[in-house]
Structure 1
Amino acid sequence: MFLHQSLDHLEDERLKALVQLNLLDTPPSESFDRITRTASQIFGLPIAAISLTDRDRQWFKSRLGVDHCSIPREGAPCAQVAETSDILVIPDFEKDALYADSQLCRSGIRFYAGAPLITREGHSLGALCVLGTQPRTTTASEIAALRDLAAMVMTQIELQHAFGRIDPLTSLPSRTQLLEDLDDLADERPDEERLAVLVDLARPEQISAYARVMGPDRVDDLVQEAAQELRRLVGRERKLYHTAAMQFAFLAATGTQTDAYVRRLTDEHRAARQRSLTGMLLTSAIGLCAFTPRAMRPQHVLRALYSAVQDARSSPELVSVYSSATDEAYQRRYRLLQDFGPALRTDEQLRLVFQPRIDLSTGRCVGAEALLRWNHPVLGPVSPGEFVPVIEHSSHAQAMTAFVLDTALAQARRWHDAGHELAISVNVSAANLNEAAFGNSVKASVQRHGLTPERLELEVTESAVMQDARQARHQLDALATAGIRLAIDDFGTGYSSLAYLQSIPAHVVKIDQSFVRKLEDGERERSLVRSMIGLSHDLGYRVVAEGVETAAAADCLRAMGCDEAQGYLFARPIETDLFATWFRQHESSFRGA
């Protein structure tokens, strides 16, 4: 009974080794066919094959003189070779007790010689075999040649298996091997809690700069040095993987407690950076992911590690554990980025709303700010505070502004035709100011809609101008010369407000709502806003206060001489089809007063 169980276990291990090599049912290969032809020529026989012994079949990776891709395992001499791991010679099938009634014998085969294909671990995968239709014997030199050719087959198998699984620079297992090992872990210990670690040596831009100065060969040297150091730190009992050019991964020992291990890694990483062992550890980051193999697929484990490394880049210790909440937020941002392009090409998702701007001295509505809204088909309404910063830093930034500008100007034209002479404000980003033809395209849009330039006001922030001050100033000068009004948005939140008040050719300063909402907190807050208004007026700007929500704040701003205001006190952002109704009601109440 024990012997039977032991044999079953050995067969299971053999089959597992065969499956892991990914040879079964793969296309023909000239490198294997060349060996098969050589065996046929040495023996002077018409039939030769590289035969792999599967659970219930013999599958031919290479074959000469054989029509079928596989034959049943039962009664096949190659199966005996795989089971015994030894040379098998059958001089005459008709005189052999085991094979006289086999399928091969009935098909006319009389001679067989096969040498085992044995892995380094001792598993026999099958045989390199030659067959003939006439009985014959073999010589010692023929058997020696057959053994040598079988060894060549195994060398080819190992080379193909290693290709893509061993990194040539560090000789460490690759990302492909890591994924396969995680798959094996899911089969063998699916519910075991494990901890994966990813070490990222440096940011890509740092590597590029280093290669530019020192040359790519020196970068390779640094990677090899890092691999040796990490191998020492991880220990020989742990497998270290080289998963990307500057990234290494490993699995912590079974039973490792995440919190304690993070503290240990943080201390070791801090010490390593202080020693600067490889010259690159000063900028390295470490990401960790706790998982169970059954619950998390290998690709997900690797992606989670990448996510943790990116989070580590923003942490003081440059070490971070994967957070599903943080990852979900990132995935959501990525989805918004991916889905914005299609949204621009439909009529159902994107729309504009308009928030009125009120002249504080008269109470009349003199303009409106165009604000973009997005109703995502799956996520539902998405706040502009969430998606606009994402889109502004992407390739969609210019298209987003173009959509808002064209839609807003079309609406301004409709209001003009209805007798409402309102100025329209549109926000522009740094990406727009970097467009060489931005000024010309804006002027063309205004002309296309039949509006005078002063009906359009473009709002820019100080931070947007600062990204490329020379290019931004060039665009702003061209726009101002064309008669288009310019406003400095979120004034007071930048780091060079006074300098830019003197140089930007703007007409309006919009005081950020963070200052306006504190007007009722105390005299110090009121004094700050009063100074902003006075300074702006002295420099010739018209002043707009954002975020006005109370009558007391409006009265305070009016007393300070602020020109305009917008905020929830007057109106929330209004849908396009409702704006005309609101405007008529507001004008009616104004006249009635």
Structure 2
Amino acid sequence: MFSKSAKGHNDILLTPNTSVNYPRDAATNLPIASQALKQFEHVLKTKKDSKLAAIVFKPINFQQVNTILGRHNSDILLLQLALCLKKSVSENPNLIDFDNNATSVKIARLHGLDFLVVFDLSNTKHEVKSIVDELCHQLAKAVPDAMSFKSFSLNFELAFGVAISKEHGNSVEEIVSHATDALLKGVDSGQVIQYFDNNSIFYTEQKLRLMECLRQDIVDENLHWYLQPQVDINDHAIIGFELKVNWHTNDGKVLELADFINLAEHSGDVYCLTKQMFKQAFKALFSLHKIGVYSQVSVNLSSQNLLEPDLVDYIEQQMKNYNIAGKYLMIELDEQIMLCACQRAKNTIDQLKSLDITVAIDNFSGSYESLRYLRKMVIDQVKINCQDLDTSDDNRADKAIINALITFTHSMKLPLIGTHIDNSETANSYISMGGSLIQGEMIHKGVNPSEIEPWLQNWYIKHPKAKPNRS
């Protein structure tokens, strides 16, 4: 039986299987998570051959209600929603009853905005997916077209995550956890109903192994560095190099920085990797200066590292260690980093500029905000991705944008490098628009720093008019 608490805030739920009194959720008057999971576990153990589908769902656009109306008022709307959902499934005989009392309650509130129903699939002869999908659609239809409070109204949308016993887990905790994971994945991908995928467990384990291997290779400095030349196509002069890095995984795959930077960020090793990049850049500059070549070497810097408190001090220390002036180092920042940079990041950029380090914008798009930013900060170079620039008619828009950017940078007397120029068709298209500075596999995929001297000697033999930078 249900009884009111002394203060009248919660209903008390007493189950026949335990002497523990479980309070009802105050906002929705539904069974709370601990009671629901206990009932779920009881059915899972007593019906060992049963097949149970845990469906975790939530209103995905409810968070704004708390912000606008406050928690007390939003709880009133949440109660309306819970009543509608509870009523819609109350007569379904295949759903687990979380109450075990005279009043049947087949829906429970988990943590936050998550709700739970558990479907017993043992007695159905239909395809599991069709049965579960039908239940999810039934719950979605139970939501009123517009729920109102005072002058505020909102159309709720539900998203569902599904995990099935034995297929997706053997314990209640595991099954519900996997259903919740599926829900989160569905929300991220825009899927209304998302079933748990066992491959995601493998992917997570695989990702953790990769992270550990990457961490060890970073600690052991077992990464592969190379220099990609940047050339003025008019006279074939080497104007600079971009330092790039590959990681050779244990299974033989060769990953570029863009392919494994997220692993380094998630493992917390990205700053260690970045410091190695700067160290390698100064080592390369030292080797170039030793043979009388004074071209710049550029390093791509992520937004996360731009906020490291000792970044500038570390770079300055490397300058002293290798006796290299700051003007020979260029730092490339992605355009979005520049546009979204906080004051702390802008202060770091100012400190880098004070060391005479040059700054480039990578993946420049020429957006209005970018142009405004160029006026506010001294940028030494911009780079545009020419990967999709070819002779096909489908790329007319890309050609028009790149053509406009080349014209714009010329008018500002700002050096522009076209990157990812990997074939003669792309190069010819870029050059026909007035571009002259190129980087890509058409010149070289990347030179090992230890082989830079013979490569340069061979380059100048092939292009005798090219003059190395000797100052």
User: TM-score with structure 2 length normalisation?
Assistant: 0.75
CA distance in 2, matches of 1:188, 1:270: 31
1:94 maps to none
| Residue 219 of structure 2 corresponds to residue 352 of structure 1 | no
Inter-partner Cα distance in structure 2 for 1:456 and 1:252: 62
Deviations 1:469-510 (A, max 9, x none): 544444333323431111111112756333333333111111
Asked if residue 188 in structure 1 is aligned to residue 47 in structure 2, the reply is yes
Cross-structure match for 2:37: 178
2:368 and 2:207 map into 1 onto residues whose CA distance is 28
Larger mean Cα displacement after TM superposition, 317-326 or 270-279: 270-279
The AA in structure 2 aligned to 1:372 is V
Determine whether 1:275 maps to 2:146: yes
1:154-165 to structure 2, matched below 5 A, reads 158-159=19-20
Paired with 2:194 and 2:366, the residues of 1 have a C-alpha distance of: 31
1:313 aligned to which of 167, 179, 187: 187
Paired position in structure 1 for 2:86: 231
Deviations 1:423-479 (A, max 9, x none): 211111222334455445433433333211121111112211122354444433332
Partner in structure 2 of residue 454 of structure 1: 327
For residues 368-407 of structure 1, the aligned pairs below 5 Å read 368-377=241-250, 380-389=253-262, 391=264, 396-407=269-280
- Superposed, 1:226-265 pairs within 5 Å as 227-235=82-90, 237=93, 238=95, 239=97, 240-254=107-121, 255=124, 257-259=128-130, 261-262=132-133, 265=136
Q: CA deviation at 1:540?
A: 2.0
User: How many angstroms apart in 2 are the aligned matches of 1:376 and 1:524?
Assistant: 38
CA contact (8 A) 1:433 1:465 kept: no
Q: How does 1:69-84 map to 2 (within 5 A)?
A: none
Aligned partner of residue 246 in structure 2, secondary structure: strand
Aligned equivalents of 1:368 and 1:411: distance in 2? 10
Contact 1:512 1:545 in 2 (8 A): yes
Report the counterpart of residue 11 of structure 2 in structure 1: none
2:44 maps to amino acid: L
Matching residue of 1:214? 70
Change (3 A) 1:508 1:515: farther
What does residue 57 of structure 2 align with? 199
Residue 513, structure 1, aligned to residue 386, structure 2: yes
- Do residues 536 (structure 1) and 409 (structure 2) align? yes
Query: Counterparts in 2 of 1:328-367, with a 5 A limit?
Result: 341=215, 343-348=217-222, 350-367=223-240
Q: SS of 1:483's equivalent?
A: coil
Q: How far did 1:340 drift?
A: 5.2
Q: Which residue of 2 aligns with 1:63?
A: none
Percent identity of paired positions between Structure 1 and Structure 2: 16
1:373 aligned counterpart, secondary structure: strand
Deviates more, 1:364-373 or 1:459-468: 364-373
Query: Residue 272 of structure 1 contacts residue 281 of structure 1 at CA under 8 Å; is this kept in 2?
Result: no
Q: Which runs of 5+ in 1 are unaligned?
A: 1-118, 122-156
Deviations 1:398-442 (A, max 9, x none): 444333222322332233334443321111122233445544543
| 2: CA distance, partners of 1:336 / 1:221 | 47
Amino acid at match of 2:247: W
Q: Aligned with 2:360: secondary structure? A: strand
RMSD over aligned CA atoms reads 4.1
Question: Aligned in 2, Cα 1:158/1:494: closer, same or farther, shift over 3 Å?
Answer: farther
Partners of 1:379 and 1:401 in 2: how far apart?
23
- Which letter does structure 2 place at the counterpart of 1:158? S
- Partner of 2:304, secondary structure, is helix
The verdict on how the C-alpha distance between 1:317 and 1:568 changes in structure 2, with shifts beyond 3 A counting, is closer
* Further displaced range: 358-367 or 172-181: 172-181
* Contact preservation (8 Å) 1:199, 1:249: yes
Say which SS state the counterpart of residue 226 (structure 2) adopts: strand
Structure 1 residues 329, 219: CA separation in 2 closer, same or farther (over 3 Å shift)? farther
How many residues are paired up?
Answer: 431
Determine which structure has greater relative contact order: mean sequence separation of CA pairs < 8 Å that are 6+ residues apart, divided by chain length.
2
Q: 1:301 to 1:569 in 2, by over 3 A?
A: same
Distance 1:226 1:523 in 2: 51
Q: 1:172 to 1:180 in 2, by over 3 A?
A: closer
Structure showing greater radius of gyration is 1
1:163-185: CA deviation from partner (whole Å, max 9, x where unpaired): xx877655625358637835852
Work out whether residues 168 and 175 of structure 2, in 8 Å CA contact, stay in contact via their aligned partners in 1: no
